[in-house]
Amino acid sequence: MEIPEKELLAPGHRACAGCGATIGVRLALKMLGENTVAVSATGCLEVITTPYPETSWKIPWIHVAFENAGAVASGVERALKAQGKDDVTVVAFAGDGGTADIGLQSLSGAMERGHNLIYICYDNEAYMNTGVQRSGATPYGASTTTTPHGEESFGENKPKKNIPMIMAAHGVPYVATASISYPEDFMMKVQKAKEVEGPAYIHLHQPCTTGWGYDSSKTIELGRLAVETGSWLLYEIVEGEFKITYRPLERKPVNVYLEAQKRFKHLADAEKEKIQNYVDEICAELKI
């Protein structure tokens, strides 16, 4: 696969050392190219890339509120169409909070109306920018500042909301999950999303050194462990057709993923077993 050299996200941004979100955006922009307009919901990405009066973006970019990335991306797409600029790609970037919780209604509307746009959710599994509060995408057992573990609690007590499947239920032509640790798989999916006529949704899993609690050098390794343990799945749904795009040769026990992170360190064996059973169930169904 030919990977374009050109960087469309400039350095100097304020992301934590070892940030997974900026890796994801860099890779996505390489495939989307210069003829792209980006929309960002409130979140880490917006804060770190645009400390006024500076910007890291080398393409037109607009920041909108937490809840309306889907709506604004729709508007941008229609405005470009009205001007006859059909060749411009419109992409929205939002975090898991801006996607699974606050922006879900406007995203659902955009998907339903069938706009020709790409929506990429960079999922670090909590509200990292404001100090690690749980979101709908926080996985079972994770300790966050609003689901702290202690005598009364083992952390988040609900499973991760399955946003890609909610998007697939809209009947859009392209839905995919991806991980920054599998860049070729991710970039191939961005390319497909770009080529598709109509809405495309990519859910990008990206480890967060600050919120998950691991050394900054391990960002890629953690993303890989998520996939190799079956905790995160790589698939795509093209015109309703579901396909796994990567199968680990031998699935590792979830413990190796959980124990590498501070947010899961407190878990008792019973909870870890519950997580393993949950992963086993899904993987059995998908033959992973």
Partner 1 sequence: MTSVGAVVRDPGSSIKNKTGSWRTFKPTLDKEKCIDCGNCILFCPEGCITKDYDIDYDYCKGCGICAEECPVKAIKMERE
Hey, which bits of the chain come out as E strands? Answer: 36-40, 61-63, 89-95, 118-123, 174-179, 200-205, 235-238, 241-244
Which CB, 186 or 201, lies closer to partner 1? 186
List binders of partner 1 among 203-222 (CB under 8 A).
209, 215-221
Q: Which of 4, 33, 54, 281 binds partner 1 (CB under 8 A)?
A: 54
By CB under 8 A, residue 69 contacts partner 1: no
List the 174-179 sheet strands across, edge first.
61-63, 36-40, 89-95, 118-123, 200-205, 174-179, 235-238, 241-244
Which CB, 20 or 230, lies closer to partner 1? 20
Secondary structure of residue 213 in the 3-state scheme: coil
Which CB, 59 or 104, lies closer to partner 1? 59
Nearest approach in angstroms of CB 259 to partner 1 is 18
Residues 6+ apart with CB under 8 A from 192: 174, 176, 200, 236, 238
- Please give the size of the binding site for partner 1, defined by CB under 8 A: 39
Q: Which of 4, 33, 35, 51 binds partner 1 (CB under 8 A)?
A: 51
Which CB, 55 or 108, lies closer to partner 1? 55
By CB under 8 A, residue 112 contacts partner 1: no
Stretch that binds partner 1, among 37-45, 55-63, 80-88, 139-147 (CB under 8 A): 55-63
Q: Which of 1, 17, 82, 249 binds partner 1 (CB under 8 A)?
A: 17
Which CB, 249 or 270, lies closer to partner 1? 249
**Of the candidates 263, 269, 174, the residue with the CA atom closest to the CA atom of residue 226:** 263
By CB under 8 A, residue 53 contacts partner 1: yes
Secondary structure of residue 53 in the 3-state scheme: coil
Q: Which of 4, 33, 35, 58 binds partner 1 (CB under 8 A)?
A: 58
What would the x/- binding string for partner 1 be over residues 157 to 186, using CB under 8 A? -----------------------x--x---
By CB under 8 A, residue 74 contacts partner 1: no
Which CB, 48 or 126, lies closer to partner 1? 48
Q: Which of 10, 79, 244, 284 binds partner 1 (CB under 8 A)?
A: 10
Long-range contacts formed by 57-66: CB under 8 A, 24+ apart: 57/8, 57/9, 57/10, 58/7, 58/8, 58/9, 58/10, 58/34, 59/8, 59/29, 59/34, 60/36, 61/37, 62/37, 62/38, 64/39, 64/40, 65/41, 66/41, 66/42, 66/97, 66/98, 66/102, 66/103
Is residue 262 within 8 A of residue 214, CB to CB? The reply is yes
Secondary structure of residue 99 in the 3-state scheme: helix
Binding site for partner 1 (CB under 8 A): 3, 5, 7, 9-15, 17-20, 22-23, 26-27, 49-59, 180, 183, 209, 215-221
